[in-house]
Amino acid sequence: MSLSYLVRRLLLMLLTIFVALTFSFILIRSLPGDPAERYYGDPRLPQEIKDEIKASFGLDKPVMMQYFIFLGNAFRGDLGVSFTYCQKVVPVIVSRLPWTLILTVIPTILSMLVALNTGVYIAFNRGKFLDRFMRFFAFSLNAIPTFWLALLMVMGLGFYAGWFPLQGMYDPLLQSGWQRLWSVIQHAFLPWLTLFIISTPAFSIQVRNLALNILGEDFIVTARAKGLVQSEIRRRHVLRNSLGPLFSFLTLRIAGLVGGAVLIETIFSWKGMGLLVLEASRNSDYPLLQATVLMTIVLVIIANFSADLLQAAFDPRVRYG
Amino acid sequence: MSGVRRKWKAFIGGFEGKVSLGILSFLAVLAVFAPWIAPYDPYDITQRDFPLDPPSLSHWLGTDGFGVDILSQVIYGARVSLTIGLFTGVGIAVLGGLIGVFAGTWGGATDMLTMRVVDFVMVLPGLPIMILIMTNLGSSFWVMVMIFVLFGWAGIARITRAVVLSERNRGFVDAARCAGAKKSYILFKHLLPATYSILFVSAAFAAGGAILAEAGLAFLGFGDPTLVSWGKMLNYARTYNAMILGAWWWIIFPGIAVFLASFSILLMGVGLEKMFNPRLKERER
Amino acid sequence: MKRTLFLLLLLIFFSSLFASYMNVAVIGEIRSLNPYFLNSTAERQVIGYIYETLLSTENGKTVGLMAESWEVDLPNRVMHVTLKDQLFHDGKPVTAQDVAFSYNLTVQKRLPMGPVLAYFIRAEAVSERQVDLYFRVLNASVLSFVPMAIPVIPQHLWADIESPRDFPNTTNPVGSGSMMFNNLTPQTLTLDSFHEHPDAPKNIDGIVFHMVQDETMGFLGLVKGDYDYLYWNLDPSLASQLLSNPGRYPDIHVATTHGESVYVMLFNHRQAPTSDVHFRKAIQDALNYPEIVQKVFRDYAGLPYYGILPKTASHVVDEALGIPQQDLEKAKQALAASGYDGSTLKILCFSSKEYMDMGEYIKLYLSKIGVKVELDVKGHESVMAEMKKGNFDMVLTSFSLGFHPEMLYYYLHSSRGILQDGQVSGFNYGGYNDPDMDAILDRIWTTFSEDELKESFFDLQARIKQTVPMLPLCVPLQLEAYSTRNFDGWLVSETEGVFNTQTLQNVTPK
């Protein structure tokens, strides 16, 4: 991985973020009505007061000017003020991010750990019943609406069986830290389980295909010829060589979940980024909505960038011109 | 013609082809002939019965909290899901295919720029942006199709471009070029047909994804408010307390319908893939 | 050191066990406690416990909340207010300075308190307990609005806040209300009883407001005993199931009281055929009101009076006017007398379930007399946008008239329905224009005596029955669920429901 490649990717990433910012500015400006109108709301106000309020939002300036101010503020980390939260949007979003990460990162890593084993295992049993079954199962899961599965979980394990709390992130009546932590785990269990069920088979197939590719490589043939036993091959060569692509896959998957957690978060009333997007949409809080989506896009772009770097760093065969 | 017939035989002969075509044609018949098949008309406010009836002889799948027959809603809901799938699949294939082919044929700066746009679109987190757009534009059937197409074309464009690039260097294209053929002639005569198989497969996968996405958006309340759809049924089931009212049938059946529709279309994609590319089958073994 | 810390923790733990907080579920989020910027129902529900206003209404009458007495000097457009002797939650006294500061802040910082900026000029503290409020326009409506809308905040905490627009006020909101802030988390708001306040809850330590996302979760919490009260209107299906199996959840009760919002259908008076009174009466006579109430609201709604005002506006409502009834023959005659040409009309309709169902039924009834209508279902914002442009034939909406019947001025006065630059100047979206109605409405606004007010309102309702400027459809009942599992002593009031000041003073832990 050369320095020029790194710089080029970095520039490309910045350009992409810039494009996203511009698009979101155009989108917000093309809306009917403006934030000032939303703010005063009442048609009974005299025009001069309306104009004054408009000016206090900077809406009296020419559009290009507003655009540059917007860009300048954005690069300083200021994406405007949410009028439902009465504060700057960035701290609001930042306070939600950890919850989304708790929800998504833990089951993703767990299912990756499980998939590493099952995937390599079925790769070695390629073509047998288990392999076919797993592939069919993983494929069928693609067609199940995740939110419906989550609903069934809530209904079956939460409501009818009564094993888990149905919603929320913790029991607010518990005071001490450890009880809180335990409570968070209890509350997170069903969403974790849902995400785990959805991703493990898909990961396993991913690992399987990767392992099959590696198994076809020359050095594995050499290893076999050297008389290494299967478990040794599995450990020494297959796992190590699949690490790079898997890391990048993992990063992308988590990035995808941060964006796609809306449905799961809604069903479990988990107050993360996804629910924030939905909340902002329902309240027509456009600054918040725009900023949350923008932050999600930026996160995903950064994750992509790091996934590329990871892949390049781990795999000496990947060369970029 | 015999080539087409052979391929068709290969498709229908396989497991995927049989199952997917079976389920899909069943759903399509339901959708097209909904008014004759469905026992009640869910749009007719006078055809409402006692609310929250469990499955019985008069209502095979029960009624929802407003007394509307679930079976009829599931049957009518197939219309929305299948048409969304169809339009999105076709839209994505056409748009993605054209962009991919143009980028591949023209090359140079056009190609570079297109591929950067593809990169950009591919990393965008779909759901939040869809919510952003639907909050601004309102949620109607066509807005939804438009959004799905706008978010789906990039992957296909990338694949078609790759196919075109590899085709471009093959003998007959060079020969045509030497013979003085115009770019557009080469494009429509040689390059475009080479991408058909990949377009069919991608369209099927996109359609399956669109059905799921539509259900998810409708569940969040972004569905077309005037249409009966499976996602909207689930949204109502959740909003109007199906769980505490004990109406499991209100939650289970729409979900199964979504699953069947997307499952069959995705499966068709796999079947098509195997049909167009028999070597794939070998490798899977 | 460690041991004391441990004991302290233990103490906190046990005191929290023995403290008796009432648990109340609210739907939605409490994001900020800035009383000038309330954006959710939940915020509006809780803010009144922390902050107070000068005046308030009780059973339709204006009463002093922070004001001990007040005088109106109509010719000079000044209101003289004398304050009660009160404390803020941090122990500092509430002074006339604080009141003047709160009122002037609204004007100086251009805070969006509805039309306040249009009517109010400034406030001045004349002595420690007396404050004068100066108005640009002063009438009964402004009086019943401005002093009930502007919250009184402590000057010593707000003086330095540069931009109240981005001040969430979630760390230390100090007001003078009956409860004081304890803490706010993403899921709860805890308020403690402020014992200096006469209305403070006596037998409980405070209230924990739990934010829940939907009714199902709230209800399950109520069943489990996590919550004692659900701060929203119960869904009619759920209410009917609860009330029909009282044995299933013995602790749970549903308080059924009169509602204060009226579902209405507005007409566009700027174009035929809706500008024709015969046409409007034809529609009024064509609808089957009891069926709408039964099918859409499971019978949990009241039938509307001709005069639109609901029962909760008890001091001014004219029940003798009667209730509209379906009479297809009369409707057909009225239709024949109108200039209706058989064209298809559109009913603009919010995309929520009850509106769409009501719309479907209206469509059905109108087809029986030969009026063709289509539903035009749109999201909330889009419907509001169309209404503000006056761009509709008919539209279904609801007005909250139970506590502020004088709001009808805004919905019916011709000056509120002028269409300029494509925007309606007020809330009279349909542009109803009737000089007689205007005269009655003007009278209501300049009347301060109770009897005259009642008389004017009776005239108003009679005029509404005569000209049908808008069509009242039904008045949904208020359905509140509460549990007697942890607390006893709930008091149901006909007008205020069960979660009222008396209940809070009266409830005792079991």
Q: Chain B within 8 Å of A296 (Cβ-Cβ)? A: yes
pLDDT reading at A265 higher than 50: yes
Interface contact A269, partner B, CB < 8 A: no
This model of the complex carries an ipTM of 0.89
Taking alpha carbons only, the member of A238, A254, A229, A249 closest to residue A102 is A254
- Judged by CB atoms closer than 8 Å, whether chains meet at A169 and C187 is answered as yes
Residues of A in contact with B208 (CB under 8 A): 142-143
CA–CA separation, A76 and A162 (whole Å)? 48
The dihedral over CA atoms of B108, B109, B110, B111, expressed in degrees to the nearest 10, equals 60
Residue of C289, C332, C350, C328 whose CA lies nearest to C473 = C289
State which residues of chain B have pLDDT below 70.
1-2, 171-173, 278-285
The CA distance from A279 to B5, in Å, is: 53
Instruction: Judge: A86–C29 Cβ closer than 8 Å, yes or no.
Output: no
Q: Which residues of B touch C382 (CB under 8 A)?
A: 138
Q: How far is CA A309 from the centre of its chain?
A: 18
Chain A: give the shortest CA distance to residue C93, in Å: 28
Among C353, C355, C367, C386, pick the best mutation site for testing chain B contact (most B Cβ within 10 A).
C353
Report yes or no: B34 and B78 within 8 Å, Cβ to Cβ: yes
Chain B contact present for A213, CB below 8 A: no
Q: Which of C169, C187, C426 sits opposite A44 (nearest CB)?
A: C426
pLDDT computed for residue B2 by the predictor: 60
B&C contacts, CB < 8 Å: 46
Contact flag A139-B270 (C-beta cutoff 8 Å): yes
C288 vs B: CB within 8 A: no
Distance in angstroms (rounded) separating the CA atoms of residues C113 and C106: 8
Q: Where are the beta strands (DSSP E) in C200-298?
A: 206-212, 229-230, 252-257, 261-267
Which residue in C12, C169, C427 is closest to A175 by CB distance? C12
Residues 221-240, chain B, touching C (beta carbon < 8 A): 225-226, 236, 238-240
For residues C361-370, average pLDDT? 94
User: Which residue would you say has higher pLDDT here, A310 or C160?
Assistant: C160
Structure tokens at A198: 């959805």
Which of the residues A31, A38, A39, A44 would you substitute to probe the C interface, choosing the one with the greatest number of C C-beta atoms within 10 Å?
A: A44
pLDDT bucket at C270, cuts 50 / 70 / 90: very high
pLDDT in tens, A84-106: 898 899 999 999 999 999 999 89
Interface membership of B282 toward A (CB under 8 Å) = no
What average pLDDT does the structure give for chain A? 82
Residue A51 above 50 pLDDT?
yes
- Neighbors of chain A by Cβ distance (3+ pairs < 8 Å): B, C
- Which positions ≥6 away from B234 have C-beta within 8 Å? A147, A148, A151, B215, B218, B219, B251, B254, B255
Task: Please give, rounded to a whole number of angstroms, the shortest distance from the CA of B235 to a CA of chain A.
Answer: 10
Q: Residue C279: which pLDDT band, with cuts at 50, 70 and 90?
A: very high
Whether the pLDDT of residue A279 is over 70: the answer is: yes
Interface residue C364 vs chain B (CB under 8 A):
yes
CB of B66 less than 8 A from some CB of C: yes
A169–C217: do the CB atoms touch at under 8 Å? no
- Is A86 touching C (CB cutoff 8 A)? yes
Question: Which residues in chain A have their CB less than 8 angstroms from residue C117's CB?
Answer: 40, 45-46, 49
Find which of B135, B240, B248 to mutate to test the C interface (most C CBs within 10 Å of its CB).
Answer: B240
pTM for the model stands at 0.90
A142 touches chain B (CB under 8 A): yes
Q: Which of residues 153-172 of A touch B (CB under 8 A)?
A: 154-155, 159
Task: Report pLDDT digits (tens) over A212-260.
Answer: 887 776 666 677 667 666 666 666 666 667 777 777 778 778 777 877 7
Element (H, E) at B160: helix B141-168
Residues of A in contact with B116 (CB under 8 A): 12
Distance CA C312, CA C260 (A): 6
